[in-house]
Structure 1
Amino acid sequence: MTYQHILEEPVGDVLVLTLNRPDRLNAAPPALFDELRAALGDLNGARAVLIAGSGRAFCSGADVAGGALGSDNPGDTTYAALTEHYNPAMRAIAELDVPVVSAVRGPAAGIGCSLALAADFCVASDTAYFLQAFVNIGLVPDGGASWMLPRLIGRARAAEMMMLGERVAAARALDWGMIHKVVPDEALDGEALALAARLAAGPTMALGLMRRALGQALETDYATAMTAEAQAQRAARGSADSMEGGMAFLQKRKPNFTGR
Structure 2
Amino acid sequence: MNTETILYEVADGVAKITLNRPDKLNSFTVQMHGELAEAIKAARTDESVRCLLITGAGRGFCAGQDLGDRAVSPGGEAPDLAESLEKRYNPLIRSIADLEMPVICAVNGVAAGAGANLAFACDIVLAARSASFIQAFCKIGLVPDSGGTWSLPRLVGPARAAALMLTGEKVPADKAADWGMIWKAVDDEALAEEAEALAKHLATQPTAGLALIKRALKETWTNTLDQQLNLERDLQSLAGRTRDYQEGVDAFMNKRQPAFVGK
Shift of 1:75: 4.3
Quote the residue 1:137 is aligned against: 140
Moved more, 1-10 or 97-106: 1-10
1:177 to 2:219 alignment: no
Q: 2:221 aligns with which of 212, 218, 221?
A: 218
Quote the residue 2:114 is aligned against: 111
1:145-194 Cα offsets, whole Å, 9 max, x none, are: 00000101100010111011010000100010111111111111001111
Quote the residue 1:10 is aligned against: 10
Cα RMSD after superposing both structures: 1.3
- The CA distance in 1 between the partners of 2:32 and 2:128, in whole Å, is 23
After superposition, residues 58-207 of structure 1 pair within 5 angstroms as 58-64=61-67, 66-68=68-70, 73-76=77-80, 78-207=81-210
1:89-112 Cα offsets, whole Å, 9 max, x none, are: 110000000000000021100000
CA contact (8 A) 2:119 2:125 kept: yes
- Counterpart residue identity of residue 208, structure 2: M
Shift of 1:4: 2.3
1:47 to 2:62 alignment: no
Quote the residue 2:32 is aligned against: 32
| TM-score normalised by length of structure 1 | 0.96
The SS at the match of 1:124 is: strand
CA contact (8 A) 1:13 1:47 kept: yes
Shift of 1:70: 6.0
CA contact (8 A) 1:31 1:85 kept: no
- The CA distance in 2 between the partners of 1:211 and 1:3, in whole Å, is 30
CA contact (8 A) 2:65 2:113 kept: yes
CA contact (8 A) 2:17 2:55 kept: yes
Identity of aligned residues (%): 45
Equivalent residues, number = 258
- The CA distance in 2 between the partners of 1:115 and 1:181, in whole Å, is 17
Shift in CA distance, 6/68, structure 1 to aligned 2, threshold 3 Å: farther
- The CA distance in 2 between the partners of 1:221 and 1:107, in whole Å, is 37
- The CA distance in 1 between the partners of 2:77 and 2:254, in whole Å, is 66
1:78-133 Cα offsets, whole Å, 9 max, x none, are: 11111101110110000000000000021100000011111111010011000001
- The CA distance in 2 between the partners of 1:3 and 1:54, in whole Å, is 14
